[in-house]
Structure 1
Amino acid sequence: MTRIRRVVTSIPRNLGLAYQGLRTWGPRRVAVAAGVALAFGLLLGLATVLIPNPVFTREIPPVWWNYPVWIATSVLSGMLVATYVRQDVGGAASPSLGAGDFGDDDDNTPEARRSSRLGFVGAFLAWFAVGCPVCNKLALLALGYSGAITWFAPVQPFLAVIALVLTAVALVVRLRGQVACVLPTPRKPVAAR
């Protein structure tokens, strides 16, 4: 119970630190965030036929909440990817992104790996959430056509909420880490025998 209380009481502080991290962004990160959000939005929108196209089909029309979830997931994913781009040096953006421009030295920490996984799972769940319930081959194989409509379609809004929460948490963790360095707790000295 105390752990839950600690997590809940730390939310305002973490959001404040994430806001401070976001304020440090330069034009380079903003451009990457916008570009990735647009690319991810197009990919997700075309594959789930939220953007009508001749390549993919959708047997059941989208519901009203598919569009806000699609847009919010795209924006959050774009911002999350932008946190992996190095900051502008001296306030000026580099002319192009080179091989060493992605990732910081601290991206190999357990917290960074965990936030990467959260972001990936969030984007993956968003695809399941906004997609056609009977066009999803996994749901169709597991549940059949009527099962996909009866069992999978009602679960999709919950998948959407989980996807947005996971992606938002990953983004907050990454942004918070840009301004607040989490130091490891020192080990207790071993008593001499």
Structure 2
Amino acid sequence: MVLPRRMLEGAGVAVGLFVLFGVVTGLIPNPVYVRMVPRTPLDYLYLTTTSVFAGAFVAQRPVTVGSGDDRFAAGGVVGGFLAFGCPICNVVLLTLFGSSALMTYLEPYRPLLGAVTTVFLAGLLYYRHRRTCETCD
């Protein structure tokens, strides 16, 4: 059973990531950041699922720290960020690959990356739930 405090922490993480990633990627319009690639409904879907799954992961966190699942969750959040983020506006990717390479090779596959990331995070939550809740059956 998830404790109410951990549920609040998970909800805080979900809302915080939604707002932070939404502002940073331009999905939440703001005067500081202008998104170069048009927004799509899939971008909002992947922003929401990534935030909710990250919050659920935090809420499921075991009391004992030391599980290796944190690295997988971080990878899922990064994959989600790449799925709904603007590829041209990501300075790290732009520096490494250039705008033409990003628009040619990353942009067409962002929806697929988002779907894979969503399934990956959902599978991680399911796996963690089954591992930590053996008495639930």
Q: TM-score normalised by the shorter chain: which range applies?
A: 0.7 to 0.9
For the pair shown, the structure with the greater C-alpha radius of gyration is 1
Residue type of the partner of 2:14? A
Match of 1:12 in 2: none
Q: TM-score, with normalisation over the residues of structure 2?
A: 0.87
Matched, 1:50 2:58: no
Percent identity reads 33
Paired amino acid for 1:162:
V
| 1:65 lines up with 2:19 in the alignment | no
Structure 2 residue 136 is matched with structure 1 residue 159: no
CA contact (8 A) 1:72 1:164 kept: yes
Structure 2 Cα separation of the partners of residues 64 and 71 of structure 1: 11
2:76 to 122, 130, 133: 122
Kept after mapping to 1: 8 A contact 2:80/2:113:
yes
| Contact residue 14 and residue 52 of structure 2 kept, 8 A | yes
CA contact (8 A) 2:2 2:59 kept: no
Q: Across the two proteins, how many residue pairs are aligned to each other?
A: 135
**SS of 2:35 mapped into structure 1:** coil
Q: In structure 1, how many angstroms separate the alpha carbons of the residues matched to 2:32 and 2:127?
A: 37
**Contact map agreement 1:139 1:152 (CA 8 A) in 2:** no
Higher relative contact order (CA 8 A, sep 6+): 1
Deviation at residue 136 of structure 1 after TM alignment: 1.7
AA at the equivalent of 1:160: G
More helix by share: 2
Match of 1:74 in 2: 51
Match of 1:180 in 2: 134
Which AA in structure 2 matches 1:43?
L
Q: Distance in 1 between matches of 2:44 and 2:24?
A: 13
The 3-state SS of whatever aligns with 2:98 is: helix
Q: Which runs of 5+ in 1 are unaligned?
A: 1-23, 85-102, 182-193
Partner secondary structure for residue 54 of structure 1: coil
Q: CA deviation at 1:39?
A: 0.5
Deviation at 1:143, TM superposition (A): 3.3
Unaligned runs of 5+ in 2: none
Contact 1:116 1:170 in 2 (8 A): no
TM-score (norm 1): 0.64
